[in-house]
Amino acid sequence: KGTAYAMLFAVPLALLGAIYTSNFARPAFRAFIKPTVEIMAAIPTVIIGFLAALWFAPILERSVVGFFLSAALIPTFLLVGVLAWQALRKISVLKRIERGWEFLTLIPVLVVTVYIALRLGPYLELTLFDGNFSLWMFQEAGVRYDPRNSIVIAFALGFAVIPIIFTIAEDSLSNVPSSLRAASLAMGASRWQTAWRVVLPSASPGIFAGTMIGFGRAIGETMIVLMATGNTAIMDWSLFNGMRPLSANIAVEIPEAPVAGTLYRVLFLSAVILFLMTFVLNTVAEIVRQRLRRKYGQF
């Protein structure tokens, strides 16, 4: 469950960021952002888990309504901002912004949107949920809100996976021959059409491999899920409950397991299951990658 939610958070951000960095960003920005994201991969996972459990989880608990409101408003406001930019870019002052730096104009929109959502959250909670969203959810739907829940894991684990997917995907996109881009642009295609119809299919084996490596990394992660899940042995898909993954279960129980005892053997079975899952996943990913490479490698 934690891996699935983390990938839902990490994959779109990492892939869209890689596409923008490789195909649309200025060289100066590309030279800055790629090493920065790679440095993120060097952050110890124990620090990520610590911050998720002791800093992010309490903030989310206090502003859970504002969080969901921001998740709904951010795409809408960003789309409005892009449309406004397209309409206002003819102004002489805005023309001075070089191509590839347009994203800077959306940063204030993002900040204002998050601020508005967090400010409106308490009023919506008071109006719609009698001032206590957690209590209302338990009374109306029978769902308990665990402060260390799947949302916290999705952000923390996704933060750890994003650098891996981004780096591999960006390398694959950047390694597409420039002659393919030039030929597409010469035929009248826009830069977006070139990226979507030419560059992405050619780089799809590397992108798929990066995604699967990130998926395997998320499955085997221990410290983040150990510190930020609450280790609640609950098996459901609720966003508001915690969990105890196999890796965290092994780390928690192995010090107390008597050698050759039942618990000891169950933990070894858990380790074997975890290994087989990773092995099968990587094998299938390699088969699919080879097929994609044979299909698009000729171009």
Each residue's pLDDT tens digit, 168-219: 999 888 888 888 888 888 888 888 888 888 888 888 888 988 898 888 888 8
Mean pLDDT (the chain, rounded): 84
Predicted local confidence at residue 176, as pLDDT: 86
- Record the pTM: 0.85
Q: How many CB atoms lie within 10 A of CB 265?
A: 11
Domain ranges of the chain: 2-296
Dist CA 250 CA 123 (whole Å): 43
Q: Kindly state the average pLDDT of the residues 248-252.
A: 81
Tokens 């650098």 belong to 163
192, two tokens: 């977006």
Task: Give 286 or 95, the one with higher predicted confidence.
Answer: 286
Q: Kindly state the average pLDDT of the residues 40-53.
A: 88
Predicted local confidence at residue 138, as pLDDT: 83
> Which residues have a Cβ under 8 Å from the Cβ of 66 and sit 6 or more positions away?
117, 118, 119, 120, 121, 122
Q: What percent of the chain has pLDDT over 90?
A: 8
The fold of the 2-296 domain, in CATH, is MetI-like fold (1.10.3720)
User: Is the confidence at residue 94, as pLDDT, over 70?
Assistant: no
Q: Kindly state the average pLDDT of the residues 258-265.
A: 83
Residues 145-169 pLDDT 10s: 888 888 888 899 999 999 999 999 9
Dist CA 150 CA 238 (whole Å): 8
Predicted local confidence at residue 162, as pLDDT: 93
